Structure 1
Amino acid sequence: MTGTTDTAPLAVRAAAPPVLDEPSSASGLTWRALATADAAELAALVAVVEDADGVPYRTAVEEVVDELEAPWRDLSLDTRVGVDAEGRMRAWMSVDAPPGDESVVRVFLGGGVDPAWRGRGIGRELVRWATGRARQVLATCGKDAPARIATHAEDVATGTVRLYRAAGLTPIRYYTEMRRPLSGPLPPVPALDGLRVVPWSPELDDAVRLAHNEAFADHWGSEPRTAEQWAQGRSMFAPTWSFVAVDDSGEVAGYALSGRFEQDWDVAGYRSGYTELLGVRRAWRGRKVAVALLATVMRAYATDGMAYAELGVDTANPSGAHGLYAALGYEVAHSSTMLSIEV
C-alpha cells in the first residue's frame, strides 16, 4: 500500500476510509442494516441465491439467526440489506470479525444478490462497501498483527468468484468437501492404548474447546476460539453424533463434533451426517485417534439411517488429513476457495 510498509501498525496498514459511503440506490434498492427480526426473510433470499448458484446445500433459518445474534457483532455497522419498492429483500452483505483472533486478524465477507436483480452493479456496490467496512474494523480492532479480509466461495458459483476477484480479493486457499457411503462395511474402530472414546457431553465441552485451540494451532488460517465463539452457531449441532477421546484421567486427546443439516438432504438427494470439527492434540497424534473417532461417528450416522458421512478439509492440511480421509473411503464431492486481501 502506498505510504505504508509491512511493519506499519495495523491501524495504518488497514487504510480504512474515514467515511464509508453507503451502497448506491441507483439500482432501485433502498439500504438499511439487518436486524434479528429479518432472519426468516433473509434465509428465504439466501436459499434463492444458493439455488441459482447451484451450491449443494441450503442455509437454514436457524443458521441465519445464529449469525445475526452473534454477541460480538454490531448489525447497525456491519450489515446492509437492499429492499425494493415493495419492501422485499433483494441483496445483502455482512462483515464478521471473530473476536478470538491473535496471530492473524480476520474479517470475513458474506452476501448475495437475488438472481432477478443481478447485472445492475449491486454486487460490486456491496463488495465495495464491505471491503471498506472491513478496513475500518481492522483499523479499530486494537490488535496489531497481520490481517486478512476474506470470503469463502463455492467453486460452482463462478459469478461470485469473478465478483470478488474484480474487487481485489485473490485465491489463497482451497478446500474440498468429502463424503463416504455408509451402506457397505465400515472401518473397524481401533483399540486406543490408554484412551477411550466417549459421547460428547456439556461437561466436556470447554475442555474440547481448549483441545481444539491446541490441535489447530499449527493449522493455516485457524485462530483460537473464545468461549463466546464456541457457544455461538450451534443450531445444527448433533450431540448424539459427537464423540471425545479421553484418557483415564478424563483429559481430552481428540474430538469429533457433528452437525445434522437436514435442510441439505433434498438438495443432495441423500441423508448424511456431517463431521464439522475433528482434531487430535499433538501429544496423541500417530496413535489412530482420528481413525477411532471417525469410525465411531460413521456408526452413529449409520444407526440413524444416514446414507453418507461427510466432512470438509483444507487441501494443504499439514496433518495429512486429506490422505487419511481418502484411506477411510471418503471421496471428493465438491470444492471451494478462500479469496482474500492480505493486509
Structure 2
Amino acid sequence: MPDLSPIAERAEAPETLPEITAGELSWRAATVDDAQLVTDFNNAIAEAGDFPFRETVDEVRDELSAAWVDLSTQSMLGFDAEGRLRAAGFATTAPGDVRTVRAFVFGGVHPERRGEGIGRELLAWQVARARQLLAASGKELPARIAAYAEDTDAVRHRLLERAGFAARRFFADLKRPLGAGAPPIPEVELAGSLRLAPFSPELDDATRLAHNDAFRDHWGSEPQTLEQWQSGRSEFAPEWSHVVVDDAPDVDALLADERTDASTAEALRAGEPLVVAYAYNSRYEADFPVRGYSFGYTGLLGTRRAYRGRKAAIAALAASMRSFEDAGMEAAVLDVDTENPSGAHGLYASLGYVKEHGSRMYSIEL
C-alpha cells in the first residue's frame, strides 16, 4: 500500500455541488420508474454514435435498482420545457472495493442538445459528487474516478480529457464466427479431477470466489460481494454458461498456498465445492440487428491463479461456443482488456476471435 494522505483530503470533496444552468433544463433525481425514459435516452446516444449495442429496459432497471445506489443523491436527469429527457448523469460506487476505492460516472447529453455546454456542467456535477462519495467511503485506499467511452466517441473523449481524465485502459470487442465455414471449436480434455459442469445456482457463489481470485492481479478489478455478483442478470443465459470444478482438490496444498484468499480458504475448510474456471454468458438480443448477426456474449471468463495452464478456462469457453452454436447463434463475442496479465488476448486470437470494436476507460487517480 503506497503512503497516502487520508482519503478525505485526497478526494477534495466540495461542500456543495455545482449548479447546472446550461441549456435551461429542469433537473431532478432519477427513480427506478424512469427506466424506460433512461433506456430510450441511452439508445438515442448509442444510435447517434453508431455504438455496437443497445440497452433494454430490464438492463437499465437492474442498474437503477442496485441496492448500493442511492438515486436520490447519485443521479440527475435534465428535462426540456416539453418534458423530454435531454441529459442524464450518474455517480456511483461499488461496495466490494478493497484495493482501490472507486467512483464511476456515466451518462450524457441527447444528440439534439449537444454544443450548449450541458455536458461540461453535468460532468462537473458528477465529478464533484464522485469526490464526495469517495471521501465518505472512509476507505484509506488509493482512489479512482472512472468513466468509459467507445473508441469512436470523440466528443466524449474531449469532454473527459478537458475535465482532467486520462485514458488508462483499452478494451477490444472480439468476434468469433460459428457454424458452417467457421473454424472448428476446439476439443479440450481436462486432466485429473477437473470436471466441466453446466451453470447451477448451487455453484454460483463458488464461481464468485473463483472470479475474485482470478482477477486479483488484474488492474482495476475489485472483489465482488454476493449482492454485486448476482445483480444485473436480466440478459444472463444460464443455459449457455459453464464452470470447471475440481472434484478432489488438494486442500492442504491450497490452504498452504499464499495465493489462496481468505474466502476460498474458509470454503475449503467447510468442504464447499471448488470452482476453478468459469464462463458466464449472456444473450443480448437487442444488439443482434445493430451488429447484423446473432451471438452469444461471454461477459465473465477466468481461471483461479493456482490452476492456470491447465486449460480449464478454454474448456469452459469452448463449451460456451458449442452452446451458442447449438442455439443457432452466428458468432461468439467477448470483451477483453488489451493489457490482461493472463495473456488472454493472444489466447482469443488463437481461437479465432478478431477485434470488431473498441472502448477505453478514463480515470482521475487520487
- Normalising by structure 2, report the TM-score: 0.91
Alpha-carbon separation, structure 1, partners of 2:75 and 2:61: 14
Superposed displacement of residue 188, structure 1: 2.3
Matches within 5 A, 1:91-102: 91-102=87-98
List runs of 5+ in structure 1 lacking aligned partners: none
Alpha-carbon separation, structure 2, partners of 1:33 and 1:211: 37
Alpha-carbon separation, structure 2, partners of 1:22 and 1:73: 22
Superposed displacement of residue 41, structure 1: 1.0
SS of the equivalent of 1:27 reads helix
Alpha-carbon contact 1:257-1:278 (below 8 Å) kept: yes
Give the counterpart of 2:185 among 184, 187, 200. Answer: 187
Alpha-carbon separation, structure 2, partners of 1:6 and 1:185: 51
The alignment of Structure 1 onto Structure 2 pairs a total of residues equal to 338
| Residue in structure 1 matched with residue 230 of structure 2 by the alignment | 231
Give the counterpart of 2:125 among 119, 124, 129. Answer: 129
Alpha-carbon contact 2:29-2:73 (below 8 Å) kept: yes
Matched to 1:169, the amino acid is: F
2:15 pairs with 1:18: yes
| Residue in structure 1 matched with residue 242 of structure 2 by the alignment | 243
Alpha-carbon contact 1:186-1:295 (below 8 Å) kept: no
Superposed displacement of residue 86, structure 1: 1.4
SS of the equivalent of 2:207 reads helix
Alpha-carbon separation, structure 1, partners of 2:171 and 2:186: 27
Alpha-carbon contact 1:23-1:125 (below 8 Å) kept: yes
Superposed displacement of residue 185, structure 1: 3.7
CA separation of 1:6 and 1:153: change in aligned 2, threshold 3 A: farther
| Residue in structure 1 matched with residue 4 of structure 2 by the alignment | 7
Matches within 5 A, 1:201-240: 201-240=200-239
Matched to 1:110, the amino acid is: F
Superposed displacement of residue 22, structure 1: 2.9
Alpha-carbon separation, structure 2, partners of 1:72 and 1:259: 23
2:80 pairs with 1:57: no
Give the counterpart of 2:334 among 307, 311, 316. Answer: 311
| Residue in structure 2 matched with residue 330 of structure 1 by the alignment | 353
Alpha-carbon contact 2:210-2:304 (below 8 Å) kept: yes
Give the counterpart of 1:115 among 94, 111, 115. Answer: 111
Alpha-carbon separation, structure 2, partners of 1:15 and 1:148: 12
2:139 pairs with 1:140: no
Alpha-carbon separation, structure 2, partners of 1:114 and 1:6: 42
Superposed displacement of residue 219, structure 1: 0.8
Superposed displacement of residue 172, structure 1: 0.7
* Deviation string, structure 1 residues 284-322 (Cα, Å, up to 9, x no partner): 110111211111111000000101101111000000000
| Residue in structure 1 matched with residue 270 of structure 2 by the alignment | none
SS of the equivalent of 1:149 reads strand
SS of the equivalent of 1:255 reads strand
SS of the equivalent of 1:228 reads helix
| Residue in structure 1 matched with residue 155 of structure 2 by the alignment | 159
Alpha-carbon contact 2:4-2:142 (below 8 Å) kept: no
Matched to 1:19, the amino acid is: T
Matched to 2:241, the amino acid is: S
Alpha-carbon separation, structure 1, partners of 2:216 and 2:39: 33
SS of the equivalent of 1:329 reads coil
Matched to 1:191, the amino acid is: E
Alpha-carbon contact 2:185-2:322 (below 8 Å) kept: no
Alpha-carbon separation, structure 1, partners of 2:120 and 2:242: 43
Superposed displacement of residue 230, structure 1: 0.8
Alpha-carbon contact 2:108-2:119 (below 8 Å) kept: yes
SS of the equivalent of 1:49 reads helix
Matched to 1:186, the amino acid is: P
2:329 pairs with 1:271: no
CA RMSD of aligned residues (A): 1.1
Alpha-carbon separation, structure 1, partners of 2:111 and 2:186: 47
Alpha-carbon separation, structure 2, partners of 1:50 and 1:140: 33
Alpha-carbon contact 2:18-2:124 (below 8 Å) kept: no
Runs of 4+ in 1 over 3 A off after TM superposition: none
Superposed displacement of residue 6, structure 1: 6.0
Superposed displacement of residue 27, structure 1: 1.0
Q: Which moved more, 1:317-326 or 1:290-299?
A: 290-299
SS of the equivalent of 2:12 reads coil
Superposed displacement of residue 254, structure 1: 0.5
